[in-house]
Amino acid sequence: MKEYRRKHGDKMRMQNLRWQKENKERRRAHHLKHRHGITLDEFNEMVVGQDGVCAICWAEMDPPHVDHDHKTGRIRGLLCQKCNMALGLLADSRESLARALLYLEVSDGVTD
């Protein structure tokens, strides 16, 4: 198998990329089921239930990201990429988020 991959690696990569491109819905469904335990239909219902907007900033989500509690795995809702990343960077810490909010409130009007 190693020899085959060495000889045909580029061809295999191209086939894999083509398959991924042609099977986006299937890949998404597999990811949702195995990562979050929900079906694509359940995910789509969540999108409709949130009117297609982020649960935090209310911006349109493209694509929506499943927000979940990392300790319990419980799904909290759908977020845009920026809000999902912000929560992740703050380690889902209410204390860190509160300090960030306080920082913004205290620093209002402060100029460089």
Prediction pTM value: 0.78
* The CATH number of domain 52-112, selected from 3.20.20.150, 3.90.480.20, 2.40.37.10, 3.40.1800.10: 3.40.1800.10
Token pair of 45, please? 């219902």
Domain limits of the chain?
1-37, 52-112
Dmax over CA atoms of the chain, in Å, equals 65
Cα–Cα distance, 45 to 48 (Å, whole number): 5
Work out the mean pLDDT of the chain and round it to a whole number: 92
- Structure confidence by residue, pLDDT tens digits, 61-70: 999 999 999 8
- Structure confidence by residue, pLDDT tens digits, 50-84: 999 999 999 999 999 999 998 899 999 999 999 99
What number of other Cβ atoms are within 10 A of residue 79's Cβ? 24
